[in-house]
Structure 1
Amino acid sequence: MSKALFDSFQPVSSAGWKQKIQADLKGADYNNTLIWESPEGIDVKPFYHRDENDKPWDGIPGQPEQWKIVQSYFIDQEEVVNHLVKDSLKRGADAIWLKAENSFDWSKLHHEIDPNGHTLYLQLDFADADFVQQLNVESKRVKTNSHLLLDPLGHLISNGNWYKGQQEDVALLEQIGKGDWLSNLTVDSRVYAEGGAHAVQQLAYAIAHLVEYLQQLEYSANLKPLFIVGLGSNYFFEIAKIRAMRWLYATVAKEFGLSQECHILAQPARRNKTLYDYNVNMLRTTTECMSAILGGADAICNSPYDSIYHKSNEFGERIARNQLLIMKAESYLDQVSNAADGAYYIERLTQQLAQSALEIFKEIEQSGGLLKQLKDGTIQRKIRESAKGEQTLFDEGDKTLIGTNKYPNPQDKMKDELQLYPFLKRDLRKTAIEPVPAKRLAEKLEKERLKNEEDA
């Protein structure tokens, strides 16, 4: 019966669909009415068809069978963090992301925690060769499922200076490569997303960032790269962005003789998060995390809805974790691997993002590499132009943040809720390069609303 039913329907070509759409438009121009151009310069069509692809879709190398729920903590007091880690693991987290700005006592931090019962992402935002050596010894002794994250070039881009100096920082990366880590080289592409770079720029700069390291490091054969990806609000583009990241890495890795598989840790970016009507942030992070899941991230760390203005707190962290638990345990988004494979729109979008990023990457390499373009300000200028264009769309209402520039609640008051300064801080000091500042779209509008609260 099924065969007979389907035999009754003749296949329709893309030309046939377009002809029908054109008829329904009743004289309106197809291109101007239904095709829109993204900030990346990609024309998005109203439909996609398999006959538009002249060859089978290439598989995306390294896509994981499962994704991990990650909870993050800043290391301040080791005993307190130890308690928080144990609690998170009991409540459903698969992995822990610990961030440190100073050395710490590893034994206190990991006291009575099964080293094989979870995955650890240990991110250092400082340079200390002796401490790295201690961690290397500990990683070999305990054989933990741990990634060691350190990105001096990312620090240079966001801060304007190296930790200690280019040679010392690169030597520290080589030292990390001697440890027993699941990943030993990090590219934190959130610095580009938070600065306002569009998806193609984020991809191109991340790959150029990696190649800058590959050309300076001597332990290339042992490299196990990890990309930290900042997630934006363009749902399908973000799915394709993660897929394109894997494809681009595999392309570069093949040239350097490396494994074509990398590890991707994804987190919602702060750029589109808001101070007012902050509960909408939960909706934003939910769709962003879904993009990461469907795009094939290895691990996802959700951001608490109140993280831009509240200090770390149990309620916000629990809600962030539970959003991912619901997607895994109740929405069954962990039951299918590579869910986006074969979807005509996403496959085409993946190709377009990857190819456009590859062209920018080639231009960067031909001009001397990422570091050279950072020193002469080219990268900063291009990110600034992209950020300005997005900001203009927001200011004019063409880019919407519900509760902020559309449907705001005038009764919403926030001046007494601020535990953290939620705006870009200007730090006037001498830097080696012009830094790329992380700035949210809603900052100007939010400052005006806060001032009005104070004046009322």
Structure 2
Amino acid sequence: MSDTPRPAPLSFSEFEPVSTAAWQERIRRDLKGADPETLVWALADGFAVQPFYHEAALDALGAAPAPQVRPGAEGAGWLNVPTYSVGALGTGHAAISRAAEAVQRGADGVHFDLTDAASFDVDYLHDHLPLAGTYLGFSVRIGAAEFVERLLLTAPSGLRGFLRFDPLADHTPDLPGQLADLRTVLRRTRHLSDFRALTLNGTFFANRGGTASQQIGFTLAAAATYLSELPNEELSVADVAAALQIQVGLNPNYFLEIAKLRAFRQLWATLLHAYGLPAEAAAGLRLFASTSTWSKTTLDPHTNLLRVTTETMAAVLGGADAVSVAPFDSLFHDPNEFSDRLARNLSLILREESQLHRVADPAAGSYYLETLTSQVAQGAWSQFQRIQAAGGLPTAVGMVMQELHKVAQEQFQRIADGSQVVVGTNRFQDPNEQFDYNPKKLLRSRDFDSTRAAYPSEVLRLATALHFQRREKKRKRAAVVLLGTHTNQLILESFMQLLPKAERQAFNVNHPEGTLSVLFSTPEGATLMYATPEQFGHFARVVCRVRQDDAGFVPPHLLNADLATMQEAIALFGFKEFSVEGYSTDDVLARLQGR
């Protein structure tokens, strides 16, 4: 309108412009002779973060990128979508009841992670959460077409939400058959404008320690496979692209996670352009962000609340369309109302009290975040091109898994030597921590997640806590706890960090490569030992009274037997005591346990 007052341009004429060179000179002066390069932060992605960024950083990008404004980003901004798991043969009644209560108390929708979709009670779900009017996501591993048909029969007026069925990331057998299932799903749901039937499981790469660039690059490689393989005479490339959504895993590196989500959107446009699709197709991308398991701990577990807060803020500021926050105690407790409520309320606080939904793309124009977004995008595109050059997925899946294993091992190493801090686990521990769960039950559980970053460090403490409990009860039995694969060096590195600096030296440690670390606990003492996987496998079969030729047997993490049997089996199968020159097992354990 002509009478609307025009804002006056801001001017700070009393301040002279300061060049990049002038800032760098000031930094060198303030460091008083120290090397400015010590302030540079090298990321595992292969690029460096500078100690400061100036307006010239945007010039290096060509120009300030346009803000990323998502369609439908007004209003709520993002959906608060908790996740509930349903195990094998489960009808899901308990999870559905929890979900219905969550929706009444502030959740915007629900994501069900189904181990067995065929057993899930769709009618019961519809009675408690009407399918046509509730935002509902479903993760399934097999039987996707049949499951979607059941949903459509129950709710013929339509569905809201998404389906995550990603046979590439989930390594589902019979890929041709799964792709045929996916085509059926896409044909049956393409008329549903608010249902994304092809959600990619990017959390797989995040939960195995992948770098930000790897997570994007590997997920884009999966998307390229679907865009290439799914279209046929009944299904166009545009149909496939319209059904795509990405589930992204989140980790606590705040600014890097913001940049990761923004880089996803940038590269999505590049990928769809390569398939001849217009820019509007890329603008419709939906990102469903989930807090990852990789960074969570069982030690000092309330620190997980702080981690998921950082992760959720990064997701919101990075432009996620929906966010799922895991309860802080989900690693070791059964579902409970207390932790469910805390997880659900986190998004509510960020929206209702922090008002984070009021600004679209708050990172836009930031010298630092725009540069970081560009660096992550370049690294991710390079990863994507390497995968494609190797034949794409699934041909290159071996290379992907090998690279994920490598970066995970590097993180384990950094946590062990203290250069990567996990608060409450390898730094700032609570020496008087009392567990409100049973370490024995946890170590025995097949569901205990041993793929996490903190696992090699925390399992030793859990195992020795179990040992001290047993010793106090004076049980005349023994236990062997599997600490993990390739953890001998990690134990040594952790031990080294606890020695006075004058005592830190190159120790002679004779542990063959590829051996397993174990803890042998008796009423008299605990001994660190190592064994080959074959030795441990034969040993576990004897202790568990399983035939040696039983190929389906998976050795548990915790083995119990009477003392004589355990001692005889350890001697028989040749377990070796973990030794560090100049220090006994007792010395190492005492240091690691803070005694």
Query: When the two structures are superposed, what TM-score results if normalisation uses the length of structure 2?
Result: 0.69
2:113 aligned counterpart, secondary structure? strand
Q: 1:195 aligns with which of 198, 208, 228?
A: 208
Output one character per residue of 1:271-325: Cα deviation in whole Å (capped at 9) or x when no partner.
1111011001000100011000000000000010001111222111111001111
Output one character per residue of 1:212-234: Cα deviation in whole Å (capped at 9) or x when no partner.
11111013221221111110111
1:59 corresponds in structure 2 to 66
Aligned pairs for 1:34-49 (under 5 A) are 34-49=39-54
- Please state how far the C-alpha of 1:419 moved relative to its aligned partner: 9.8
Residues 152 and 158, structure 2, Cα contact 8 Å, conserved in 1: no
Q: Which of 194-203 and 70-79 deviates more?
A: 70-79
Q: Distance in 1 between matches of 2:415 and 2:47?
A: 20
1:451 corresponds in structure 2 to 463
Output one character per residue of 1:4-46: Cα deviation in whole Å (capped at 9) or x when no partner.
982211121222211211222222222x222121111111111
Q: Distance in 1 between matches of 2:58 and 2:303?
A: 38
1:24 partnered with 2:41: no
> 1:440 is aligned with what amino acid?
R
Cα distance change, pair 4–420 in 1 and its aligned pair in 2 (3 A): same
Q: 2:136 aligns with which of 114, 117, 120?
A: 120
Q: Distance in 1 between matches of 2:132 and 2:362?
A: 29
> 1:317 is aligned with what amino acid?
D
2:82 aligned counterpart, secondary structure? strand
Residues 115 and 140, structure 2, Cα contact 8 Å, conserved in 1: yes
> 1:149 is aligned with what amino acid?
R
Cα distance change, pair 438–199 in 1 and its aligned pair in 2 (3 A): farther
Cα distance change, pair 419–135 in 1 and its aligned pair in 2 (3 A): farther
Q: Distance in 2 between matches of 1:309 and 1:382?
A: 29
Q: Distance in 2 between matches of 1:151 and 1:367?
A: 21
Cα distance change, pair 205–336 in 1 and its aligned pair in 2 (3 A): same
1:226 aligned counterpart, secondary structure? strand
CA RMSD of aligned residues (A): 2.4
Cα distance change, pair 221–105 in 1 and its aligned pair in 2 (3 A): same
Query: Relative contact order (C-alpha < 8 Å, sep 6+): which is higher?
Result: 1
Q: 1:411 aligns with which of 395, 420, 432?
A: 432
1:97 aligned counterpart, secondary structure? strand
1:134 corresponds in structure 2 to 150
1:399 partnered with 2:408: no
Query: When the two structures are superposed, what TM-score results if normalisation uses the length of structure 1?
Result: 0.89
1:272 aligned counterpart, secondary structure? coil
2:205 aligned counterpart, secondary structure? helix
> 1:387 is aligned with what amino acid?
A
Q: Figure out how many residues of one structure are paired with residues of the other and give that number.
A: 436
Q: Distance in 1 between matches of 2:44 and 2:128?
A: 49
> 1:166 is aligned with what amino acid?
L
1:406 aligned counterpart, secondary structure? coil
- Please state how far the C-alpha of 1:51 moved relative to its aligned partner: 2.2
1:254 aligned counterpart, secondary structure? helix
1:314 partnered with 2:337: yes
1:231 corresponds in structure 2 to 250
Cα distance change, pair 229–412 in 1 and its aligned pair in 2 (3 A): same
Aligned pairs for 1:26-425 (under 5 A) are 26-30=32-36, 32-54=37-59, 55-59=62-66, 63=70, 64-65=73-74, 66-75=77-86, 76-102=90-116, 103=118, 104-115=120-131, 117-127=133-143, 129-138=145-154, 141-156=156-171, 162-163=172-173, 165-180=174-189, 181=192, 182-218=195-231, 219=235, 220-223=237-240, 224-258=243-277, 259-260=281-282, 261-374=284-397, 377-414=398-435, 416-417=437-438, 421=442
1:159 corresponds in structure 2 to none
1:282 aligned counterpart, secondary structure? helix
1:311 aligned counterpart, secondary structure? coil
Q: Distance in 1 between matches of 2:51 and 2:361?
A: 24
Q: Distance in 1 between matches of 2:128 and 2:394?
A: 43
Q: Gapped runs of 5+ residues in structure 2?
A: 1-7, 469-595
- Please state how far the C-alpha of 1:356 moved relative to its aligned partner: 1.2
The structure with the larger Rg is 2
Q: Distance in 1 between matches of 2:198 and 2:125?
A: 23
Q: Which of 239-248 and 43-52 deviates more?
A: 43-52
2:453 corresponds in structure 1 to 441
Q: Distance in 1 between matches of 2:128 and 2:392?
A: 46
Residues 98 and 123, structure 1, Cα contact 8 Å, conserved in 2: yes
Residues 152 and 169, structure 1, Cα contact 8 Å, conserved in 2: yes
Output one character per residue of 1:57-112: Cα deviation in whole Å (capped at 9) or x when no partner.
22365633411111222243444333322211111101111122222232211215
1:267 aligned counterpart, secondary structure? strand
2:528 corresponds in structure 1 to none
Residues 340 and 346, structure 1, Cα contact 8 Å, conserved in 2: yes
> 1:176 is aligned with what amino acid?
V
1:430 corresponds in structure 2 to none
> 1:56 is aligned with what amino acid?
A
Residues 289 and 323, structure 2, Cα contact 8 Å, conserved in 1: yes
Q: Which of 256-265 and 334-343 deviates more?
A: 256-265
Q: Distance in 2 between matches of 1:21 and 1:327?
A: 36
Q: Gapped runs of 5+ residues in structure 1?
A: 157-161, 428-436
Cα distance change, pair 419–331 in 1 and its aligned pair in 2 (3 A): farther
Residues 183 and 225, structure 1, Cα contact 8 Å, conserved in 2: yes
Q: Which of 35-44 and 2-11 deviates more?
A: 2-11
Output one character per residue of 1:204-254: Cα deviation in whole Å (capped at 9) or x when no partner.
101011111111101322122111111011110000000001111111012
> 1:86 is aligned with what amino acid?
A
> 1:213 is aligned with what amino acid?
Y
- Please state how far the C-alpha of 1:168 moved relative to its aligned partner: 0.6
Q: Distance in 1 between matches of 2:52 and 2:209?
A: 29
Q: Distance in 2 between matches of 1:235 and 1:166?
A: 36
Residues 414 and 450, structure 1, Cα contact 8 Å, conserved in 2: no
Residues 162 and 199, structure 2, Cα contact 8 Å, conserved in 1: no
